[in-house]
A and B are shown apart, each in its own frame.
Chain A
Amino acid sequence: MSAKEGDYYLPEPSGWPLVGSVGLFTTLGGFASYLHGASPMFMMLGIGILIYMMFGWFGTVIHENQHGLYNKQVDKSFRWGMVWFIFSEVLFFSAFFGALFYVRMFAVPWLGGADNNVYTHSILWPEFNAVWPLLTLPNSEGFDVASGVMDTWGLPFVNTIILLSSGATVTWAHWGLLKGNRNQLTMGLFLTVALGFTFVGLQAYEYVHAYHELNLKLSSGIYGSTFFMLTGFHGMHVTIGAIMLTVMLFRSMKGHFTAEHHFAFEAASWYWHFVDVVWLGLFIFVYWL
């Protein structure tokens, strides 16, 4: 296939998508069976297939790219693809943020008797006291009642600073790439990755603290549910983003990317900024307000 400007690039048939589908099927089917007592082998196998697929698929793309098969148009398609993928992630998060807002603005006050729910409170949950963060539950049977709430200006604030600085370092790395300063590129990427994993580490530390000292768990009622769902989902995204950036780090050390051609790097850094912005939302609505 040709790579001339103005011409189209069409990839050859590829087996990777099918491998990916089999991987997804095995992973998720395996996970569901595991939830019902089957061994986790299937799930592990599926994850293995998925990792294999990613190496294969991304490897192919990188190879094609290194051999100059992609032109401006392909590059732009990738960009649109990434932009809309991130947009879909924003909406995925908004489902959980929506749950948080709904619970704080409606469900919990209603359980406490607000608006048209006087009877909900007086007949069903007369003992319940609706204050957020929710430390008493309407009915704590079967739940782990938390003894305290997450602190705002300690670790979470440190984590905010860390994540914000990592946004700066990745931009700095990008400047290096644009200037052709490879050292600045690898240095910046290294710092970003280091900050990213530090963030994840601190987050894990915070979870341990919440579980053991505060008895705040996924099963601590809606406060714990929303807290862990939002921060956990975010933490997972940070991890993925950090892995993506690690790959970029290795690739840049191998001499990949030029000042003109470095979509993969940009995609990873967009993703990183997105994860950053989500964290700000979390910091404000989950920890602070």
Chain B
Amino acid sequence: MSTATAHDTAHDHHGPPAGLSRWLFTTNHKDIGTLYLWFSFTMLLIGGAMAMVIRAELFQPGMQIVDPNFFNQMTTLHGLIMVFGAIMPAFVGLANWLIPMMIGAPDMALPRMNNWSFWILPFAGTLLLSTLFMEGGGPNFGWTFYAPLSTTYGPESTDFFIFAVHLLGMSSIMGAINIIATILNMRAPGMTLMKMPLFVWTWLITAFLLIAAMPVLAGAVTMMLADRHFGTSFFNAAGGGDPILFQHVFWFFGHPEVYIMILPAFGIISQIVPTFSRKKLFGYSSMVYATASIAFLSFIVWAHHMYTVGMPVAGELFFMYATILISVPTGVKVFNWVATMWRGALTFEVPMLWALAFIFLFTLGGFSGLMLGVTPADTQYHDTYFVVAHFHYVLVAGALFSIIAAVYYWLPKWTGHMYDQTLAKIHFWWSVISVNILFFPMHFLGLAGMPRRIPDYAIQFAEFNQLASIGGFAFGLSQLLFLYILIKTIRGGEKATDKVWEKPEGLEWTVASPAPYHTFATPPQVK
């Protein structure tokens, strides 16, 4: 991987050290950003390969390929790896690359800690993946690891999983602290908060969510560890505890977590749409307020994942109202993007295509989210493929698409090369069609009654599962095309101009392409 990431540094006056130690010891935000992005892509392939196992087993009814326990391990690790390994590190990687450049800083505020935040990840990933090779198998209780399935009944490897989660949490918290310190302390003169690009704003708020949510997850796994080995009874009714306590603690983290995976996406889309509409972003300040409201609301809706656990009615009502309320600020975002395009001069370069697909498909996923938020209806949707459809629309067609859009938008700035636009367009159309073949039928499956996390199903679900699997294989292959495009661009290609696009806004477009190793050693003046 290291050969692929070595980009053109000819213009640097203070270049990077050569060799492996550059990557191991680096304190440079661009190097660390690159490391994060490659780590994330690797995890996407691993988590994706697990999804392929899932889709292959579900290709037809009956058990053909894996045993049910291994299937559960695949589901669990697929969810965990995609969330903690692919999506979150990708956003942190983008933050590393872009935030210093966008606010006119030379680097992140705490560069050494930045290196640590990254280098914890491969170790955490190793710890997590090594569980697959242990006796009794890896974690098999879903990415939500509900007690007591994960405590009393968890396999031995659960303890390795617990510590992997601790490590992932430490990495995220340190990353988030760094981002906040950078944004609050390293802005160039004149870069007031309300002049910051939206990507920076959304990340500021995301970092806050991370610092507030990740420690709670650490608390949850710590209690799990104590229940497993030190005789406590947090999640055990016999000693006065409650398995549902686990779910409350988990989702207090878990719901903000899903917004951690979408707020930076909103930021990316808010950068891309104005560029290709040749028009300023509509409603900048309302975007900021909407982001903040979503973040606030995200802390008071967690129990919408628990409508069927038997909460008191008052609780169910409260969480229903709070949940559906999130549609309002999210709607403001969607409307603002549409209004930005309205009467703009649109062109449809690759990043814009992905951004448009994001807006359509994320909104679709948001709609199914709203449906899930309605408590009585959720008693029918809950833990069916309808939920699986919902969250893959917001996570794959949402978060992942926004990351791909971001890569296509800033890649020329990072590498100094323009990518092969024809291939990139093929990648786009192939992905956007297959992703719908993959996930849309899951709505029907869920409504017709197919539960999630099952390795085999009744025969009336056969057709749609087959369709989804075909879509899944196609979507997987198209990500290999993405890999090819990336490597080809890093290796060479048409030189990119400094601005890259016709009329992009932001400080990152004022520096050379590729961006020099150290940007803004003396701060730029922002008017």
Contacts and interface: CB of A to CB of B under 8 A. Distances in A.
B202 to A, nearest CB: 18
A87 interface: yes
Given A22-B123, A28-B127, A103-B245, A92 B218 contact: yes
Contact of B239 (A28, A35, A76, A225): A225
Contacts of B218: 92, 95
Contacts of A20: 116, 119-120
A52 interface: no
A44 interface: no
Nearest to B22: A13
Interface centre among A13, A16, A116, A137, by most chain B C-beta atoms within 10 angstroms, is A13
B238 A138 contact: yes
Interface string A9-28: 01111111110111011001
Interface stretch (A194-202, A214-222, A245-253, A265-273): A214-222
A228 B230 CA distance: 11
Interface stretch (A139-147, A166-174, A181-189, A256-264): A139-147
A179 B120 CA distance: 42
A163 to B, nearest CB: 22
Interface string B377-414: 00000000000000000000000000000000000000
Nearest to B166: A28
Nearest to B120: A21
Contacts of A281: none
Contact of B181 (A32, A80, A103, A226): A80
Residue in B105, B119, B176, B240 whose Cβ sees the most chain A Cβ within 10 Å = B240
A11 B312 contact: no
Given A10-B111, A25-B127, A218-B226, A98 B248 contact: yes
A229 interface: yes
A29 interface: yes
A96 interface: yes
B32 to A, nearest CB: 10
Interface stretch (B3-11, B23-31, B470-478): B23-31
A60 to B, nearest CB: 8
Contacts of A10: 27, 106-107, 111, 518
B232 interface: yes
B241 interface: yes
A221 B240 contact: yes
B212 interface: yes
B186 A77 contact: yes
Contacts of B25: 13-15, 17-18
Contacts of A221: 233, 239-240
Nearest to A23: B123
B119 A18 contact: yes
A24 B120 contact: yes
B21 interface: yes
A28 B222 CA distance: 13
Nearest to A75: B185
Interface stretch (B80-88, B155-163, B332-340, B455-463): B155-163
B232 A98 contact: no
Which secondary structure dominates where chain B touches chain A? Answer: helix
Contacts of B223: 95-96, 99, 229
Interface in B216-251: 216, 218-220, 222-223, 226, 229-234, 237-242, 244-245, 248-249
Interface string A56-87: 01000000000000000100111011001101
Given A10-B27, A99-B234, A225-B233, A92 B310 contact: no
B230 A99 contact: no
B66 to A, nearest CB: 25
A212 interface: no
B126 interface: yes
Contacts of A22: 123
Nearest to B238: A139
Interface stretch (A105-113, A148-156, A203-211): A105-113
Interface string B489-509: 000000000000000000000
Interface residues of A, number: 72
B211 interface: yes
A12 B233 CA distance: 48
B184 A218 contact: no
A14 B523 CA distance: 25
A89 B379 CA distance: 36
B238 A16 contact: no
Nearest to A143: B239
Given A7-B522, A99-B223, A137-B240, A91 B233 contact: no
Interface string B1-44: 00000000000000001000110111100000000000000000
Contacts of A5: none
A33 to B, nearest CB: 8
Given A11-B27, A14-B115, A77-B109, A103 B240 contact: yes
A162 B242 CA distance: 35
A66 B119 CA distance: 28
Contacts of B249: 95, 98-99
Contacts of B119: 17-18, 20-21
A77 B230 contact: no
A94 B226 contact: no
Interface centre among A10, A20, A85, A96 (most CB of B within 10 A): A10
A166 B22 CA distance: 45
B109 A138 contact: no
Contacts of B166: 28
A29 B127 contact: yes
B312 A116 contact: yes
Contact of B230 (A12, A111, A140, A219): A219
B198 interface: no
Interface of B: 17, 21-22, 24-27, 105-107, 109-113, 115-116, 119-120, 122-124, 126-127, 156, 159-160, 162-163, 166-167, 170, 173, 176-178, 180-182, 184-186, 211-216, 218-220, 222-223, 226, 229-234, 237-242, 244-245, 248-249, 252, 310, 312, 518, 521-523
Given A22-B123, A84-B211, 15 more contacts: A10-B106, A10-B111, A11-B111, A17-B115, A18-B119, A28-B166, A80-B180, A81-B113, A92-B215, A92-B218, A98-B216, A102-B242, A134-B240, A139-B238, A218-B230
16 contacts: A8-B105, A10-B107, A11-B112, A15-B24, A22-B123, A32-B160, A77-B185, A81-B109, A85-B173, A88-B211, A98-B216, A99-B219, A111-B240, A142-B238, A218-B230, A223-B240
Interface of A: 7-8, 10-18, 20-22, 24-25, 28-29, 31-32, 35-36, 57, 73, 76-78, 80-81, 84-85, 87-89, 91-92, 94-96, 98-99, 102-103, 106-108, 110-111, 115-116, 124-125, 134, 137-144, 217-219, 221-226, 228-229
